[in-house]
Amino acid sequence: TIMAKSQLIKDIATNSISIEESLQRLLLITSELDNPLISKWILSEINGYHRQATLPDYRRNIAYKLIYSGINGNFQMKNQPLPLHNFSERFRDSINESNIYISIKSIERIIIRDETVCEDLTYLAPDILKNTNIMCYEISKEYSNLSLEQLLSNIKSKLILFLINLEHQFGNL
């Protein structure tokens, strides 16, 4: 087997540099290729995607759970699961859409610090009250860190494969 000669590939493969730094270096390398699609992808990963952008598959359908705090009957509830079917049908599609638009640096920071990415859905509390008689004072959509780690892994694999391809075409990067 032929080992990659380029230091950048080795750095990415051994986690010596962040995915963000890898993307920045790739941007420098590809600046002379005049490939707007590659540049757009790299910049979107570095800066985050616009809401209207078509997201790569690995940034779509991120696993999540719905949780609430509030009063259910006579019980004070804190951070309890809230099934999607408790919401009116007209809200379900938008709630179920779970795409990640934030920058790669933010995702890396979230993983390193073991933080949680949540979307506040408390504005839908009246809908839950109407449908279930549960009085919510907090509703959150919490994204799975495992899915975010998978997203990073996908980008890392794409980077390595792309760089190996460039190395074959142009030699040591």
pLDDT of residue 126: 98
**Residue type (1 letter), 39:** S
pLDDT of residue 133: 95
What are the backbone angles phi and psi of residue 121, rounded to the nearest 5°? -115, 20
Query: What's the gap between Cα 163 and its chain centre?
Result: 22
**Alpha-carbon gap, residue 107 to 105, rounded angstroms:** 5
With a cut of 80, say whether residue 5 has pLDDT above it.
no
Give residue-wise pLDDT tens across range 47-82. Answer: 999 999 999 999 999 999 999 999 999 999 999 999
Phi/psi region, residue 67 (left: phi>0; alpha: psi -120 to 50; beta: rest), is beta
Measured at the CA of 141, the angle between CA 58 and CA 61, to 5 degrees, comes to 20
pLDDT of residue 3: 53
Closest residue by Cα to residue 96 from 119, 64, 54? 64
23: Cβ–Cβ under 8 A, 6 or more apart, which residues?
A: 42, 45, 46, 104, 155, 159
Calculate what percentage of the chain has a pLDDT beyond 90: 75
pTM for the complete prediction?
A: 0.82
Q: Indicate the range of 20-34, 45-59, 95-109, 120-134 predicted with least confidence.
A: 20-34
pLDDT of residue 173: 60
Closest residue by Cα to residue 104 from 141, 154, 62? 154
pLDDT bucket at 1, cuts 50 / 70 / 90: very low
